A and B are shown apart, each in its own frame.
Chain A
Amino acid sequence: METEITDVQSYKLDFNGKGSTFFGIVVLNWLLTAITLSFYYPWAKAKQLQYLYSSTSLNGDNFSFHGTGKEMFKGYIKALGLFIFIYGLTLLAVYLEEPIIGGIFFYFAIICIIPVAIHGSYRYRFSRTSWRGIRFGYRGDRTELFVNYFKWIFLTIITLGIYGSWMEISLRKYLISNIRIGDIEFKYKGKGGEYFVLNLVGGLLTLVTLGIYSFWYYKKVFAYYVDNMSLYKEGREIKFKSILTAGDIFKVGMINFLIIIFTLGLGYAWAVTRSLNLIFSKIELEGSIDLNSIQQTEADYNDATGEDISDFLNIDLVF
């Protein structure tokens, strides 16, 4: 691996969103979603993502989200149709007094959908993201992910969950290494074994300390996600590093919790902006890729069905 240590660049990630501005967006979203009995939701989501992305900057230039409510609404309808179909078939099985077959079909269908949803969601989200006019992209192959996902789930089931750590890292690695920013590639070098130990020790210590250790546990997991990520372009690299401490997590987390409780949920906007502010200020970048030299390479992709399926299933973006 060739890494030139000459001409080291400086990079700075920032989140500049304000709780008060975001609150305006959130309130408008609540109002319009309530009036339209949820139909406004895709547009609400688009507005929120647009604001949050454009409030995040790298070296002073903002990220941008181009996704539209209209695109996500189409995906929403398709995802809705798909779920009605699956539920319908399951209920049919129950009606025909074959609930076991119905149950197996249901879980099988959900396992089939998840990799499809993740793929679609990643493709949509990243093609709709840009920085300095350069589009992001996701180059993963849906069939490849689908087959791998089944393999991982199978192994996780027969090892009664132990393989889960390896599965998560394999999934993360596959997804992340297929992300592009123009001609910059992402890399992730985590290992399932290391992650397993991290979770085992973390889980046990948290149990033994009645939850107090959890802040250090989260810090370690966050670091494991961030520190193993890197960007790569023509022999040059940018490495990520987390400087988040357990104390940070406790402080911000605790105050967010109190904000939400005491405002009966209205303070949600501030909790989000505070959390994002914390996360971005605790990620450091170091390397030698010249950010002026990125070339546009990624294609347009406007099918948001995967994105909406992921929403239905509450799958959080693994990033």
Chain B
Amino acid sequence: MLTTGTYFDGISSIPRHIELCLEHLPEPVIAFLLTDEVRTKWSIDEIRIEHLGNSLEIRHKTDKLAFIKVTDETFIQELIDYLSKTGKIGWYHKLLHMGMKAYIAIAICILAGIVGGYLVFIPWVAEKAVLIIPEKYDAILADKYLTQYMIDNEIDSAKSLILNKFASQLKLENSKPLHFTVLKSTVANAYALPNGNIIVYTGLLDLMTDYNELACLIGHEVIHVNNRHSMKMLCRNLSGYIFISVMLSDVNGIMAIIADNAHNLQSLSYSRKFEQEADEQGTKLMINNNINPLGMTLLFSRLKSQNKAAVPAFISTHPMTNNRIDDINNLIKNTKHKSLYNSQLKELFSQLKANN
């Protein structure tokens, strides 16, 4: 079929009107006549087409700049049909013309895959990864935290000594050496660092009235250390972030913000899972030490009834939801326990509470 088009020769920008047609014999070519010149033939094997809206650009593979522009719809369709039939249209081109429904379906699948991977696969991988990381790296993590945070608070060395004696009375099944530090503060807080260092603020000690509460607190914190919760948290955060960045490598600004915030929410919820683990296993650990597990419940309810403004830190990272209290109570009900009075622990506890 004969049609007209515009030819640009790649030497100047002058458009030249030409007549061209698709010939099949002796060989499939695009043949065209430049005015006053010999007929030029471009073999079908050597052309590349670009179909945009209502025009088609035909380029030669070796001479990349000269090209023919055609706007005749019938000719364009004829050429494309011929190229499809002879298998010259690539897989990409075919994929590109699948239609809107297919695209939306693919996009939703990708989104679902990413969300699924992020919520399910990544946490699993992260936990396995922690097994590869040697435990001594947990110490490096802790050192960073120590230098940052501890400068603000004053250590009570006398009480720290007593607390260490207190803890050594218990069988804590600890995976690494533990060291307890008491910090002078009105804040009621306690946390475990990954290197086995457990910090307790005097504000929290003030709230307690019974040595069993302190023992249960220690049990809870030790589980954080034994189960390497900090390192798992870090791996999980990092892997989630890396996963999202890799999957959406051209994440534009807004998507990045959405991903970031969703990520933070996830982190928070994950830390609650660790808290539950610490509650449960910590209580069991104390039961094994013949400590009264109700110490845990007592401590929780005390904290809950405290004014939130006065005890912000402990409450925010360890939300005292009723769920947690109920879970502990259920566990206590369903586990055989026998608590024995321990005079040494009682003595050490009163020393800790002394001169306030």
Residues in A lying within 8 Å of B, measured CB to CB: 16, 18, 20, 23-25, 27-31, 33-34, 37-38, 41, 44-45, 47, 50, 54-55, 61-62, 64, 66, 130-135, 182, 257, 260-261, 264-266, 268, 291-296
User: Do A291 and B103 touch across chains, with their CB atoms under 8 A apart?
Assistant: no
User: Do B11 and A265 touch across chains, with their CB atoms under 8 A apart?
Assistant: no
User: Do A296 and B15 touch across chains, with their CB atoms under 8 A apart?
Assistant: no
In the complex the two chains form, what is the Cα distance from A41 to B15 in whole Å? 36
User: Do B96 and A25 touch across chains, with their CB atoms under 8 A apart?
Assistant: yes
In the complex the two chains form, what is the Cα distance from A295 to B110 in whole Å? 47
User: Do B65 and A265 touch across chains, with their CB atoms under 8 A apart?
Assistant: no
Q: Across the interface, which residues of A come within 8 angstroms of B97, CB to CB?
A: 24
User: Do A268 and B13 touch across chains, with their CB atoms under 8 A apart?
Assistant: no
User: Do A294 and B13 touch across chains, with their CB atoms under 8 A apart?
Assistant: yes
Contacts A20-B100, A61-B69, A132-B8 known; A41 to B13 CB distance under 8 Å? no
User: Do B252 and A134 touch across chains, with their CB atoms under 8 A apart?
Assistant: no
User: Do A268 and B15 touch across chains, with their CB atoms under 8 A apart?
Assistant: no
Q: Across the interface, which residues of B come within 8 angstroms of A47, CB to CB?
A: 92
Q: Across the interface, which residues of A come within 8 angstroms of B250, CB to CB?
A: 29, 33, 41, 44-45
User: Do B255 and A268 touch across chains, with their CB atoms under 8 A apart?
Assistant: yes
Q: Across the interface, which residues of A come within 8 angstroms of B100, CB to CB?
A: 20, 23-24
B64 contacts chain A at the CB level, 8 A cutoff = yes
Q: Across the interface, which residues of A come within 8 angstroms of B15, CB to CB?
A: 61, 132, 292
Q: Across the interface, which residues of B come within 8 angstroms of A265, CB to CB?
A: 252, 254-255, 258
List the B residue with the shortest CB-CB distance to A33.
B249
Q: Across the interface, which residues of B come within 8 angstroms of A25, CB to CB?
A: 96
In the complex the two chains form, what is the Cα distance from A34 to B244 in whole Å? 10
B340 vs chain A, min Cβ distance (A): 52
22 A–B pairs (Cβ distance < 8 Å), ordered by A? A23-B103, A24-B103, A27-B107, A30-B107, A38-B249, A41-B250, A45-B250, A62-B55, A64-B57, A66-B64, A132-B15, A133-B11, A133-B66, A134-B12, A134-B65, A260-B252, A261-B254, A266-B107, A292-B13, A295-B11, A295-B13, A296-B65
3 closest cross-chain pairs (CB), A and B:
A133-B8, A294-B13, A133-B10
Choose among A23, A41, A132 the residue that contacts B249 (Cβ–Cβ < 8 A).
Answer: A41
Q: Across the interface, which residues of B come within 8 angstroms of A44, CB to CB?
A: 250
In the complex the two chains form, what is the Cα distance from A69 to B13 in whole Å? 27
B38 contacts chain A at the CB level, 8 A cutoff = no
| Most B Cβ at <10 Å: residue of A27, A37, A41, A50 | A27
B246 contacts chain A at the CB level, 8 A cutoff = yes
B106 contacts chain A at the CB level, 8 A cutoff = yes
Contacts A24-B98, A130-B65, A135-B65 known; A266 to B111 CB distance under 8 Å? yes
Contacts A133-B10, A133-B66, A295-B12 known; A31 to B254 CB distance under 8 Å? no
Contact with A along B1-25 (1 / 0, CB 8 A): 0000000111111110000000000
User: Do A260 and B255 touch across chains, with their CB atoms under 8 A apart?
Assistant: yes
Contact with A along B52-80 (1 / 0, CB 8 A): 11010100000011110100000000000
In the complex the two chains form, what is the Cα distance from A31 to B108 in whole Å? 11
Q: Is the interface of B mostly helix, strand, loop or mixed?
A: mixed
Contacts A54-B50, A133-B10, A266-B107 known; A30 to B67 CB distance under 8 Å? no
User: Do B254 and A260 touch across chains, with their CB atoms under 8 A apart?
Assistant: yes
Q: Across the interface, which residues of A come within 8 angstroms of B11, CB to CB?
A: 133, 295-296
B234 contacts chain A at the CB level, 8 A cutoff = no
B158 contacts chain A at the CB level, 8 A cutoff = no
In the complex the two chains form, what is the Cα distance from A268 to B67 in whole Å? 32
Q: Across the interface, which residues of B come within 8 angstroms of A131, CB to CB?
A: 13
B25 vs chain A, min Cβ distance (A): 30
User: Do B103 and A133 touch across chains, with their CB atoms under 8 A apart?
Assistant: no
In the complex the two chains form, what is the Cα distance from A182 to B65 in whole Å? 12
B310 contacts chain A at the CB level, 8 A cutoff = no
Choose among A20, A31, A296 the residue that contacts B12 (Cβ–Cβ < 8 A).
Answer: A296
List the B residue with the shortest CB-CB distance to A182.
B13
In the complex the two chains form, what is the Cα distance from A35 to B10 in whole Å? 39
Choose among B13, B67, B69, B96 the residue that contacts A24 (Cβ–Cβ < 8 A).
Answer: B96
B131 contacts chain A at the CB level, 8 A cutoff = no
In addition to A260-B254, A268-B255, 19 A-B residue pairs with Cβ atoms within 8 Å of each other are A18-B53, A20-B100, A24-B100, A27-B107, A27-B110, A30-B248, A31-B106, A33-B249, A33-B250, A34-B247, A38-B246, A44-B250, A50-B50, A61-B69, A64-B50, A261-B254, A266-B104, A292-B12, A296-B11
List the A residue with the shortest CB-CB distance to B13.
A294
Choose among A34, A61, A264 the residue that contacts B113 (Cβ–Cβ < 8 A).
Answer: A34
In the complex the two chains form, what is the Cα distance from A261 to B254 in whole Å? 8
Q: Across the interface, which residues of B come within 8 angstroms of A130, CB to CB?
A: 65
In the complex the two chains form, what is the Cα distance from A268 to B100 in whole Å? 15
B95 contacts chain A at the CB level, 8 A cutoff = yes
Choose among B13, B55, B104, B110 the residue that contacts A31 (Cβ–Cβ < 8 A).
Answer: B110
